[in-house]
């Protein structure tokens, strides 16, 4: 959502919160001053094997085209150069890789042409050893109403007129006078007051579902007449995010090793009164707008299931990861087995960096978009694994030549 998206974070880490405490690593550790997230691979032994991704191309060309469309926007040029990658080189990299996808005939040829034609950059991760913690996000589908009723009582709101943000979506605060800005209201202040009256966009019937739309930054809503309404991120209040799952674990309500979206929902079904206790502790609050053709990532282009990733890119000229870039990830992702069981499988595939998120900070975190609806929501809630990220940029000498 450009119009920047908070990123739909079904992040299991957002629900679990304490990813670092689970694995005794600080995945959100910031880079040292002057350090960059990517390092060019010069040792062939560190080069990943790209062959497993040869047969996995569904949605990849469409996602590449979405990034190429982003690069046609003049504003995209302001985020380059990134390391030694110019805006032109970023564009040529996608065009060259798209051609390679359509012409390589075997896994071996695929791998050989990538290694021969592209510089590969490896993420330093959270520990300078390449370790990245992957989570998942999705677009949920919930029931909603345009008008409030006895059943539909929990609104999503439009962006308020007194909220001030930059062209890049950075929240500056609340304007109280022409020359005075103050921090915007917290979630608790907004929920207990009437400050957003008149800005109601749509109403949900479940308070926790409304909260989860805030977490994920977008949703598809099934209205009472059967039509579907898409809502997407418009802005947020600029307040810090606090994990619901971590709060529940810290307070002893759930075992830390059992926290998931499923267990969180089950807990609040049994203890709805605790919504008043835990939800206001998360000061972050999201405002929405109606959208079509989405969901959209922070680049303003649609995100694609298993082909879009959210990483840290929160400051102009100081992005941790490059916007719109082609990445290759190695991690473990969940899948549904017969009978509804969730299994985990090693995954190696290409993906485009098209999104960001309020809790996706540092070189040690990444969030994979897994699609829309209940199945995607279930899978996203079980996505939690270490892995590695690599970015590919065509070799400078080959920018205008065939690979």
Query: What is the domain partition of the chain in residue ranges?
Result: 23-138+303-398, 139-291
**What is the mean pLDDT for each group of 10 consecutive residues in the chain (403 residues)?**
37 40 69 86 96 95 97 93 95 97 96 97 94 90 96 97 86 91 96 92 96 88 94 91 89 85 90 96 94 86 94 68 96 86 92 82 89 86 91 90 69
pLDDT of residue 359: 60
Write out the H or E segment, with its range, that includes residue 117: helix 107-117
CA dist 341 and 319 (Å) reads 38
| CATH classification code of 139-291 | 2.40.240.50
Pairing of strands 384-394, 118-123: antiparallel
pLDDT at res. 216: 79
Per-residue H/E/C for 128-153: CCCEEEEEEEEECEEEEECCCCCCCC
Residue 325, classified by CB atoms within 10 Å of its CB into exposed (0-12), middle (13-18) or buried (19+), is: buried
| Superfamily of the domain at 23-138+303-398 | RlpA-like domain (2.40.40.10)
Q: What is the structure's pLDDT at 314?
A: 55
What pLDDT does 5 receive? Answer: 38
Is the N-terminal amide bond of 295 cis, ω within 30° of 0? yes
Q: Determine which helix (DSSP H) or strand (DSSP E) holds 61, and give its type and residue range.
A: helix 60-71
Residue whose structure tokens are 């032109």: 88
Q: Which residue has the tokens 């966009």?
A: 201
pLDDT at 151: 96
Q: What pLDDT does 269 receive?
A: 95
């Amino acid at each position: 959502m450009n119009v920047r998206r908070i990123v739909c974070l079904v992040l299991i880490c957002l629900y679990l919160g304490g990813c670092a405490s689970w694995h005794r690593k600080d995945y959100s550790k910031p880079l040292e001053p002057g350090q960059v997230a990517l390092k060019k691979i010069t040792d062939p032994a560190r080069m990943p094997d790209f062959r497993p991704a040869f047969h996995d191309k569904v949605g990849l060309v469409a996602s590449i085209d979405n990034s190429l469309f982003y690069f046609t926007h003049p504003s995209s040029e302001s985020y380059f150069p990134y390391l030694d990658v110019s805006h032109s080189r970023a564009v040529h990299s996608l065009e060259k890789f798209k051609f390679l996808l359509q012409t390589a005939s075997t896994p071996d040829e695929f791998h050989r042409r990538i290694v021969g034609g592209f510089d590969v950059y490896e993420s330093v991760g959270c520990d300078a050893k390449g370790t990245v913690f992957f989570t998942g996000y999705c677009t949920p589908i919930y029931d909603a109403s345009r008008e409030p009723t006895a059943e539909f009582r929990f609104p999503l709101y439009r962006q308020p007129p007194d909220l001030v943000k930059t062209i890049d979506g950075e929240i500056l605060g609340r304007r109280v006078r022409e020359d005075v800005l103050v921090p915007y209201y917290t979630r608790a202040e907004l929920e207990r007051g009437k400050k957003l009256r008149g800005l109601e966009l749509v109403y949900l019937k479940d308070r926790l579902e409304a909260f989860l739309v805030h977490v994920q930054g977008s949703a598809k809503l099934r209205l009472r007449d059967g039509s579907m309404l898409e809502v997407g991120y418009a802005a947020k209040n600029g307040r810090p995010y606090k994990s619901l799952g971590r709060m529940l674990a810290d307070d002893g309500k759930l075992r830390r090793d059992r926290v998931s979206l499923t267990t969180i929902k089950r807990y609040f079904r049994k203890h709805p009164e605790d919504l008043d206790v835990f939800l206001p502790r998360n000061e972050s609050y999201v405002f929405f707008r109606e959208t079509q053709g989405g969901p959209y990532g922070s680049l303003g282009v649609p995100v694609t299931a298993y082909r879009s990733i959210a990483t840290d890119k929160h400051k102009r000229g100081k992005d941790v990861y490059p916007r719109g870039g082609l990445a290759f990830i190695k991690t473990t992702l969940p899948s549904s087995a017969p009978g509804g069981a969730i299994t985990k499988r090693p995954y190696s595939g290409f993906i485009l960096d098209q999104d960001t998120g309020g809790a996706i900070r540092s070189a040690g975190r990444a969030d994979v978009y897994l699609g829309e609806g209940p199945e995607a929501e279930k899978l996203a809630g079980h996505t939690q694994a270490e892995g590695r990220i690599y970015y590919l940029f065509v070799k400078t000498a080959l920018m205008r030549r065939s690979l």
